[in-house]
């Protein structure tokens, strides 16, 4: 056995926390992720620092909030140009590479439009576009493109068999890298980034018809009337043309979302089985998470923009590492899947760095240790994109969630009594002191982590002096 563990990080794209079977919330079948959780640690309060694809992935590599170094939203969407994360920025995978780890990346990148993972600490990159080449060569253009937005964002069935689908193609490429690195006898770090279950959802059979729309339970947040809520939320319905959608319209879309999750889970199972077959699971740290969640009809909305509901900011996080993690362990402390992962990996490997991370190592939590000074809150941000600039900042603990909407009404939710975030209490007289307290907490957190939004007196006064309508 190598003296250092292998590290496999698997990231889904746009997967809700409550759509992993192990969460016990919705009837999505994820037997392989459930097995991973049963053999490792399930984090029930993991949050993304920002529910947007590019910034979330950039923050993971840098270990810092994107507001501190520039890439505020997706560099390739909405017609609003923004810098990407340049290769000159710190990337913690380079620390592993410089210490002899073999570094491989498979799948979705979305960090920079010109520079691929080999500029950020990885030796090899198998991009998701190569799947398109494979698919065309084997099936031709007539078989359809799974990421085609021109037909419908609502999704449909992929005519290609599951074994030749993108999920499974990427899984097999990851297995090939693992086999290659194992033959070399060096420890390795592989990132396997799925594009799924990002809309439009187009699972293959049997997954496309695995879930009947009439069996899909309505999201708990579906019947939102948007009373006393920011204008942009109701506007989102009109922007997407779903203002008149009932659950009968959303259920088929959610059924496809479920199906693509289960298909991805099957692909993940192939990789986990390969680790077992090669007898290296005991010495492999496996991390599963997602860049952010998905509304998929939650609050009657589409996608993930302009809101900081738990539908999109709360993410699954599973860590399996037999050397330190007790089987079936659960952790309810607040962790940041992107900001905390880099410090954790470096801590596990005993690598010291002068990098000023915005997260911290959760290795003590993996070991089941008490950490009295661990944070008791999560902070997520949003900076606008598809339909214009709109900034929001969220701080949430086990009881309360406060959302600062700089250009509209703020939000306050009692997460114990109203976990689906339907009733905005921001103007309740009895909550005035609470709001002032959370505004101050949020201000200092943003200031300490380099968020330029609070570095002027107008924004500062909104939070510190309660100068908000």
The span from the CA of 204 to the CA of 47, in Å, is: 30
Report which secondary-structure segment, H or E, holds 211: none
Give the Å distances, CA to CA, from 68 to 89, 235, 355: 11, 30, 14
For residue 401, tell me if it sits in a domain: no
pLDDT of residue 176: 98
pLDDT of residue 149: 44
Which residue stretches of 24-165 are H helix?
Answer: 31-38, 53-62, 93-97, 129-139
For residue 336, tell me if it sits in a domain: yes
| pTM for the whole structure | 0.97
In sequence order, the 6+-apart residues with CB closer than 8 A to the CB of 306 are 230, 232, 233, 236, 382, 384, 387, 390, 392
For residue 239, tell me if it sits in a domain: yes
For residue 201, tell me if it sits in a domain: yes
Q: Which residues pair with 12 in a beta bridge?
A: 290
Question: How many domains does one find in the chain?
Answer: 1
For residue 459, tell me if it sits in a domain: no
For residue 420, tell me if it sits in a domain: no
Whether cis (ω within 30° of 0) applies to the bond prior to 72 is no
Strands 335-336 vs 188-193: parallel, antiparallel or unpaired? unpaired
Residue 134: give the domain boundaries: 6-378
For residue 400, tell me if it sits in a domain: no
Question: Exposed e or buried b for every residue in 423-436, given b needs 16+ CB within 10 A?
Answer: bbbbeeeebeebbe
For residue 467, tell me if it sits in a domain: no
Q: pLDDT truncated to tens, each residue of the chain (469 aa)? A: 578 999 999 999 999 999 999 999 999 999 999 999 999 999 999 999 999 999 999 999 999 999 999 999 898 876 677 889 999 999 999 999 999 999 999 999 999 999 999 999 999 999 999 999 999 999 986 554 555 544 589 999 999 999 999 999 999 999 999 999 999 999 999 999 999 999 999 999 999 999 999 999 999 999 999 999 999 999 999 999 999 999 999 999 999 999 999 999 999 999 999 999 999 999 999 999 999 999 999 999 999 999 999 999 999 999 999 989 999 999 999 999 999 999 999 999 999 998 999 999 999 999 999 999 999 999 999 998 878 889 999 999 999 999 999 999 999 999 999 999 999 999 999 999 999 999 999 999 999 999 999 998 999 999 999 999 8
Q: Give the CB-side neighbour count of residue 282, counting CA atoms within 13 A.
A: 5
CATH number at residue 305: 3.40.720.10
pLDDT of residue 148: 53
């Amino acid at each position: 056995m190598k003296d250092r563990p292998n590290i496999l990080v698997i990231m889904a794209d746009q997967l809700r926390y409550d759509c992993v079977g192990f969460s016990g919330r919705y009837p999505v079948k994820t037997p392989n992720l459930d097995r991973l959780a049963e053999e490792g640690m399930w984090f029930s309060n993991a949050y993304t620092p920002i529910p947007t694809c590019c910034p979330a992935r950039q923050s993971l590599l840098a270990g810092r909030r994107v507001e501190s170094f520039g890439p505020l939203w997706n560099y390739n969407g909405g017609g609003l140009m923004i810098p990407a994360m340049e290769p000159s920025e710190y990337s913690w995978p380079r620390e592993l590479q410089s210490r002899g780890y073999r570094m491989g990346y498979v799948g979705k990148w979305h960090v920079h439009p010109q520079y691929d993972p080999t500029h950020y600490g990885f030796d090899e990159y198998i991009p998701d576009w190569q799947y398109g080449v494979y698919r065309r060569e084997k099936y031709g253009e007539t078989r359809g493109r799974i990421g085609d937005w021109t037909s419908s964002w609502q999704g449909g069935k992929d005519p290609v068999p599951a074994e030749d689908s993108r999920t499974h193609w990427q899984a097999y490429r990851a297995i090939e890298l693992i086999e290659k690195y194992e033959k070399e006898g060096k420890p390795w770090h592989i990132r396997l980034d799925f594009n799924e279950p990002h809309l439009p959802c187009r699972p293959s059979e049997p997954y496309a018809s695995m879930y009947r729309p009439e069996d899909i339970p309505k999201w708990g947040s579906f019947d939102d009337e948007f009373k006393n809520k920011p204008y942009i939320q109701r506007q989102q319905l009109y922007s997407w043309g779903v203002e008149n959608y009932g659950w009968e319209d959303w259920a088929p879309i959610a059924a496809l979302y479920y199906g693509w999750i289960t298909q991805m889970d099957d692909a993940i199972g192939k990789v986990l089985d390969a680790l077992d077959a090669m007898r290296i699971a005991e010495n492999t740290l496996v991390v599963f998470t997602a860049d952010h969640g998905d509304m998929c009809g939650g609050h009657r909305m589409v996608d993930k923009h302009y809101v900081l509901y738990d539908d999109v900011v709360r993410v699954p996080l599973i860590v399996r590492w037999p050397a330190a993690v007790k089987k079936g362990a659960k952790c309810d402390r607040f962790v940041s899947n992107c900001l905390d992962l880099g410090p954790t990996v470096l801590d596990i490997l005993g690598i010291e760095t002068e990098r000023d991370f915005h997260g911290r190592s959760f290795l003590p939590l993996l070991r089941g240790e008490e950490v009295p000074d661990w944070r008791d809150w999560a902070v997520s941000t949003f900076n606008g994109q598809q339909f214009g600039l709109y900034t929001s900042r969220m701080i949430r603990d086990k009881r309360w969630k406060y959302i600062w909407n700089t250009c509209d009404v703020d939000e306050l939710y009692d997460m114990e009594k109203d976990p689906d975030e339907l009733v905005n209490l921001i103007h309740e007289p009895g909550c005035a002191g609470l709001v002032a307290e959370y505004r101050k907490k949020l201000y200092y957190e943003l200031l300490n982590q380099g968020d330029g939004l609070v570095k002027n007196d107008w924004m500062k006064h909104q939070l510190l002096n309660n100068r908000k309508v």
